[in-house]
Amino acid sequence: MDTVVAAGGGKLRGFVTGDGLAEFRGIPFARAARFAPPEPAEPWTGVRDATRHGPVSPQPPVRPDGVMGVPRDVPGQDEDCLNLTVLTPAADDRRRPVLVWLHGGAYVTGAGSFGFYGGHRLAREGDVVFVAPNYRLGALGYLRLPGVSPGNLGLLDQLAALRWVRDNAAAFGGDPDDVTVFGQSAGAHSIACLMALPQARGLFRRAILQSAPLGLRLAGARTTARTARLFTTSLGRDPRTAPVADILRAQAETIVKAGGPGGLYSVPPFSPAADAPPLPGVAQWLSQRARFAPEVDVMIGTTAAEMNSFLTGKPGIAQLERFPVTARGMDAVKAGITRWMFGGPSRAFADQLAARGGRVYSYVFDWGAPESPYGAGHCVDLPFLLGDESAWREAPMLAGADWTSLDEMGRELRAAWLSFARTGTPSPEWPHHAPKLAPHRLP
C-alpha cells in the first residue's frame, strides 16, 4: 500500500511495510557537484517516487571475507548520492523521538540503505522515527587538495542531513527537538567530530557512539598533503574530470601505499581532516568536542574484542594462531590494540564529557557467537540493533548463532538504546559514567 507525505522539496510516495511501518526511500536531502559542499536539494513538482533506494556513494565492493558478510540487494552507485531513508510508525501529528543512523566503513565503504542497517525493529518496538542518510565517502568525500577539494565533504553532508531532519521530521511524525544521532565505527568517529562544531549545535539532543576508533585522530596537514600527492600521482589526470572508476582505482592504490607494515596506518588516508572547514586543528578538536557536553546526553562504548574482526585469521596471523604460545601472544596483541584504538580513547572521551558536566553512560559489549572465531569483535553488536535475519544470514561473525535467540537477546539492547533516545537514560539500573568508573557491561 502506498502512502504520501509532503516533505523536503515536495510530495513523496512511500509504502507501508509488512510490519505496518511507513517507509520512504531515496529522499534527496541535498545535492553537490564533485568536490563541492552540499547545497539544498531542488524542489520537485508532482509526487516523487520514494519506494526505491537512491544511489550510494561510489565505493569498492564489500569484501566477501568480511565479518559481516556481503549485503544483499546493494543499491547502485552514483556521485549524486545525498539521499536518505525514513521509517516511521505513522506520518501523523505525533512528536516521536527521531534516531539518525551514521554508518561505518572506514570512511570508504558503506551506506545507510544497506540491509544490514534497516531500522525496522527500532521503529516498531520503540515507536520512533528512524532516518538513515547516505553521504560521500573515500576520495570523493575526504580528499583534501588545495584548489580542487577542501576536504571533509562527507562530514558536511552529514550536517546537511541533520539539518534536513530538523526541518522535516515533523512531517513524518517525529520531534525535531528530540533527535538522537547514533553511529558505529567511522559513523561514531563522525559523531565525535560533529560534537566539536558550533554548526551542529541544536541538531541533536543525544548521541550514541558505538565502537568509535578514537585512537585515530584527525588527519593533519602533512598527512593530507601526502595522501593528495599519492592520489594525484596514481590518478595521473585532473581529479575534477576523471571517471569515477579511475577515482576508485587511485583511491585503492593510495590506501595501500599510505599503509605502513602490514597495511596499518595511524590515520586513514581518506578521513576527517584538521584545519579544514568545518573542523578546527587537532588540539582544538580534542578540547572542543566536549564544549557542548551539558547539552548533549551521550552513550559510548565498545565491543570487548574489537580487533578480532580485523586480525583474526588474516594471512600471516593465522599461522601464528595455530600454536598455543604464539596464539596467546596474538591474543595479547589484539587486546592491546583494542585498548589503544577503541577502549582507552572512548573512556577518556567519556571522562572528558563527564568532567564538563555532561550526562554520560558507557558500556562494553562482550557477546560472541558460539562458532565464530571473532568473538566479541568489531560490528558484532549491529545485528542486535539493526537489519533482519535475511540481512545477517551469511555473516561469519554470527556462526552458530540462532537468529530467534539473538533477536530475543537484542530486545534488551534495543530497549536500552530506545530508552536513552526517549529519556536520556538507558535504564534505571545503568549508572552514569564518571571519571575512573568502570564501564557497565552488557550481557
Asked if residues 157 and 199 have their Cβ atoms less than 8 Å apart, the reply is no
Residue recorded with cell 572547514: 277
State the Cα–Cα distance between residues 163 and 183, nearest whole angstrom. 17
Q: 52: which 3 cell numbers?
A: 526505491
DSSP 3-state assignment of 85? strand
Rounded CA separation 398/387 (Å): 13
Give 430-438's long-range contacts (Cβ < 8 A, gap of 24+). 430/361, 431/361, 432/354, 432/359, 432/360, 432/361, 433/300, 433/350, 433/351, 433/353, 433/354, 433/360, 433/361, 433/362, 434/354, 435/351, 435/354, 435/355, 436/351, 437/362
Q: What are phi and psi of 416, to 5 degrees?
A: -65, -45
Active site residues: 185, 306, 378
Sequence-ordered strand ranges (E) for 225-374? 297-303, 360-365
